[in-house]
Amino acid sequence: MFDEGGRWGFVRAVLTCAVWYIGSMFNSIFGKSVMKKFPSPMTVTIAQLLMVNLMLPFFLKEKMPRIQQRDWTGWILPLTFLKLLASLSSQLSILKVPVSYAHTVKACMPIFTVILSRIFLKQKHSTMAYLSLVPIMTGVIIASVTEIEFNLVGLISALVSTLTFAVQNILSKKVMKSGINHIALLVFVSRISFLCLFPVWFYEDGYGIFFGDSFAKLGDEAFTVTYELILGGICNSFQTIFAFTFLSYVTPVTYSVANVAKRIVIIFVSMFIFRNPVTLPNIIGVLVAIGGIGMYNKAKLDERARMLMENNEKSGELPPLPQYSPMKAQQQQQQPYFGKTHRRRMGSSNEDSTDVPRGHYQVMHV
């Protein structure tokens, strides 16, 4: 379940996950609050990229790795494009539809994960994993049909964001397994993303903010929008940094389970804070989708457990027992143990015992 075992590894992963949850929840809340007053997904995105670039150096504990030419086309530029597309489409979905509905749609990430892994990785899944996609799609459809504030652009933006995040997570985990530190990975991608988006943002929004009357039209709410942009950027920074950190600690399946639980929290907290009008069929659709996601995660955990059991059975096959020789046994009693295997009495708790009767040998691999 965890890439690094031990009690401290578990506690560290739990604390990292908690900060990720809190940052993601308040990032969604501040983002929605800002765009109710100043509807500009690009401005929210550039503010988030600025804050994450300012905060990342404080979390970088080692020197930045040297980047070779093949790295630019191998992962830097693809991840930069995916990050920009995911961030902009995510903010656009929050602008067009309620936060609870946007995260309900984003919770269908397992559908994209199954499709992408089947097409590009040729990965097969269990029957239960495929069956779990039915309630996920059914729940999202019910939630969409019964959503009072439904918007087609918001739905498409949420789906694009979900698909992009799924591809980004798969590629990021692959890059981290090659030896790139997760914070260094974020530094490269965030800096390039900011530099690519800044000229476009300045042409669309920045010039009007600094030299026009875009903020002046807000009146007294200009100050509120400014500090909510800053706080939202800080929360997004914690969300991004600790999400990548958590992904580096755990397996992709564990990350998927935690991500679903995060969305459940955000859905119900946003309903409470923004007082979104919901209907009973809408809530039923959300619960059906969440139930389907739970089935999918259970199926993936069972798959992983079965694979681990098969690998353990293959690696744990015992070699044939040696023939007993009194002379050889006497020589072994006189020699100290330095080998990779030793023998002990069946059922004995003393692993160093050499007083083993004939016919009771067991080979222990250490």
Residue 31's nearest CA partner among 96, 107, 113 is 96
Q: 5-19, 96-110, 168-182, 307-321: which range is least confident on average?
A: 307-321
**pLDDT band at residue 364, thresholds of 50, 70 and 90?**
very low
CA atoms within 13 A on the CB side of 7: 0
pLDDT band at residue 316 using 50, 70 and 90 as cut-offs: low
Mean pLDDT computed over 88-109: 87
Describe the crossing of helices 252-274 and 7-37 by its angle, rounded to 10 degrees: 40
Structure pTM? 0.71
The overall average pLDDT reported for the chain is 79
CB neighbours of 116 closer than 8 A, spacing ≥ 6?
A: 166, 167, 170
**Residue 261 CB partners (closer than 8 Å, separation 6+):** none
Identify the residue with better confidence: 40 or 323: 40
Residue 113 DSSP SS3: helix
Burial 255-267 (b: 16+ CB within 10 A, else e): bbbbbbbbbbebb
Contact between 103 and 274 (Cβ < 8 Å): no
Identify the band that residue 50 occupies on the pLDDT scale cut at 50, 70 and 90. very high
Give the pair of three-digit tokens for residue 284. 């039923």
d(CA 36, CA 30): 10
Percent helix, percent strand, percent coil in the chain, to nearest 5: 75, 0, 25
Burial of 202 (0-12, 13-18, 19+ CB in 10 A): middle
